[in-house]
Structure 1
Amino acid sequence: MATKRDLARLAKNGVSDPTSNPFAIPADEEIFRYREEEKTKKQEQKIANMNISVADKATFASQMQSTATDEARKLLTEFRTPKAPRPDMNLAAQSTTMDRRKEVQTMAEYIAKKREIFLLQMSLDTKRAEIKKLEERARQREIALKKSEQMLEEDAIRFDAFLKENDEKVQEAIKHAEMEAKAKQDKVLEIKRLNTSIAALRSEMNKYDEQLDDCRKYKEFLDSVTPREWFEQQQQKLQQRKDQMLREWQAQCEALKQRVEAAMAAKAQAEVDYATAKTQQQAERAERAIKETIQNLKEAVKEKEPPPPNLNFDLNPDDEEIFFRDPQQLLLVYKQLEESNLFYIQNAQETEEALEELRAKYRDTRTRMQGETNVLAQEVGKLQMSIATARDRNRRLKDRTIENVGSLSLNIGGQEGADLVSLDQLSVKVAEVYVRCGFDADASIGTLQMLTNIEMKLEEHLSAVDQLPPGTLEAFEKAREKERRKVARNEKLSQQLREHEARMARALERAAAPVFKKSGKLVMFRSKPLQRKKVIREDSRGDDDTELEAYLQQDMI
């Protein structure tokens, strides 16, 4: 079975589908095409007959006879069935009838026979054309197959070449990959070796850096112990070097200037000699001298002035000289530094001891002053309190004096409505208390002074009481507290007795008083609102009636 690729190639080469049936009835288009071809052939035959002679022309019968081929005649004779004569007819009638019917059948069947002949001829032509077409198709298919085989061979050759080229490329790629892997391995080894060398160099550089740092520290230490005069000498040497460079530059500039001036003077002298020359030889010598002087002047002018020296530089640390050239110098410096350090340490210790003593004295003085300050503050507070108390007392006394005009009210024993006491009586009472306290009676002392002395005496007694043993003071306090409670209890009993007597007196007064009878209508209070009692009706129906009513209500719902 032909593939799609073969069919496409056959269609490209002009060959139709070989699977179509060559003996199928042609379509109407084919029939009309054949008809047109027949008309064209007849027209061409007619044109050709017009040009031939009369003897060569054929009649219509010969033409019609010539249209039927031998094969068509044989087919007609085979298909035609001979008719037997009737048995009841005689020979003459039979012959007559046969001739007549033969003539009738021949004329009637003539068109049908011609049609059959035409169809047979057309089918034969169609078959021949189809055979030619099939042969052409077979030939084209053979050509297409040959081309396909050739293309397959070419494809196979190209595929073999491709495989060969691919194998070569694979081999080259493998070789290249092996070379690259080897080169990569070499590079990796080289990188490892370089990393190892870099690490070694870095460690060596770190070691050198550490040594350089140590050397710098040593140099800084040596510079710190080097005398100042040495650095001043080095600065003087540097300044002398700069001055020397400046003098050399000035000398070079001066020499260049002198050369230019000498060349100009020689040129002027040569020109004068040339102008004053009397002979040809003198003129030639003067002319040569002028050329030489001009050449010398050009060379002197071409020479550039040297650039000024760079004076902004310092001594190179590598070229700088060191003050210490002998180890004994360092030992002497160390000894001096040690002595100075010991002196400084001793001074520091003495200073610390003195500072510690000052701190101790400061702490003691501060503690003592703080205690004195606290005592003074307490005394100041007491004095302020006493002053405030005295001022308050003085103010109250003044107020009472102004209100009572020389009389005071003393509330003795907590009783209200006490009698007024005059200031004279109070002064007399203070004088009596003053004498009882052990003082001598003195009319020149005022009442306030007496009270002050009494207060001082009281403070002395209080201080003496504070110095007594704790048990004695507690015993005195308990005795006084017992007496106070006894007095308070007696006062309370007397107060209760007085209250009881007052209640009894009031009861006797009520009993002795006449009875008061009420007269008239009693006062009526507002009536309360009516209250209705709620009557609870009990359901006397049974459980069956209740269930029936609930069931009926459900049906209604």
Structure 2
Amino acid sequence: MSGISFHDSSVDPESSETTFRARLASRQTGDVFTVPSAHSGSGLGTSKSGSAQETDVLLEKNPFKIPSDIDIFLLRDKQREKAKAERERRKTLKVHEKMTCSTLQSAKQSGFKREIQMEEEAEDKELAAEAERLKALRESTSWKIAITKGKRETMHDYINQKRQMFLLQYAVTVKKDEIQKLENLAIEEEAKLEKAEEDLEKDAAMFDEFLKENDRNSAQALKIAEKETKAKLEKIIEIRELTAQMMNIQSEIARFEDTLREYVVFKDFLYQLSPKEWRDDYERRKIKERLVKIIPGVKDSKLLKSKRSQPSSGWHMCEGRLQPSEGRSDRHSELYFTDPHQLLNLFTELEEQNLSLIQNSQETEETLDELRHTLSNTDREIEQLKLLAETLQANIVKEEETAADLELKARVFSFGEYKADVQDKMLVSLHRKVLEVYRRCIGENEANLGTLQMLTVIEHQLDDLLECLERVPPAKIEQAEKAKEKERRMRMREEKIRQQRQLQEERLQRALARAQADVKKKTGRRLIFRSEPPTFKEKEDKDQGIIDKEKEELLYYFT
């Protein structure tokens, strides 16, 4: 928003007129204009032409030029410091004094509106003061004379001045309306802000009450938690004590149960050591007692007679029915042994019997071992004899085949188809090769085996190796095969290179021999191939082709 600032109000009418014109020009352009003071060199005796020139210079001055006394970077630094101080101030505010983004923006807007309103009021005051001063100047005769003594204004100038005055008055009216609207809006915003402040104060009070209530509840909860924790610790200590007592009781019960099991085992052992007659008599008495408990009122004599009259199968059936119902505590409540010496005597007798039985068992085991050893030796000899018989049978068959083969060879040799020295050389070379293979696979031929025998041994060795190969993992076999294949390829490559080198050497030798040989001149006619006889092309029968085409069409369309 544009405005006018005055440095000095004590000027003459001519300077006032010049100032008024400059103000009008600045109002029309919308720029801030500063009227020079009286101390700047323009006095009361300045002429009308000098004032007009000064006005033209002021109007022609660039309004967008930055003043030399203003540092933009210093203003930026000041704004940054101001924003930083504002942030630090907001950090120290209380909860109810802090504002949200919307309230902050509304506060900024209201602040801007207040500043704009204050500027407008100051400007209106300045304009009113200037208007009063101009009115006073117009009423003065000296000003009227200074104004009217110049050249007379035309109707066009008068209309322009009226138009400018109307525009200025219209602008002032519009600004006043806008100011009134802004004032109303500011009043509404202030009312809203006051209401928001009241709501915020209420919320802050409610929040403080909530915090106090929360503190009270927290303190009460802490007291209850401490009390419950103390009670829980007491219960835990009591539970631990009871658990320790239970563990002690359980350990004692387990110890007593172990002792009871040992005693029961001892009791069963003593019962088993008792004589059989005493045990039978004891079982009868126990059954009799159980029957008396089951059937009270039955006399012992009748029960005994009925028991005697019943067959043995019925006795065992009754015994089987009553046996499961008895408890472990009722078993063997009475013992045969009443004195420890009885046990000692019985143990002595049992030890003697055990010693004799052990001796008899050892003798029996030794005899059994001897028989087993003899049986194993006999089986081994039988197997060896069987293998020997099979080997002899196989050798007999092989010898018969060899004899038949030799007989055939003798017949062939007798006919004169083969030469004996050639066959002997071949046999010697085959024997040498077989012997070399035997040495590499088996070892030295210390037994002076024949060719066929060495081949047999090599075949057995090959069978054993094949059996071992079946037991080897496939991955290891595949790895070994790859290694052997790689070695074979390298050997073949080396062999191929050696052959190529040998062929190259032979080729070089032949070329060298051809180069060193004498040149032979060919005489006579050059030999050429016989020319081929001319070929005759067979003529195609066009009529036959037409007939074949007609047949195809008939077959296609009428079948």
Report the TM-score range of the alignment, normalised by the length of the smaller protein. 0.3 to 0.5
Alignment TM-score, normalising by the size of structure 1: 0.33
Q: Which structure would you say has the larger Rg?
A: 1
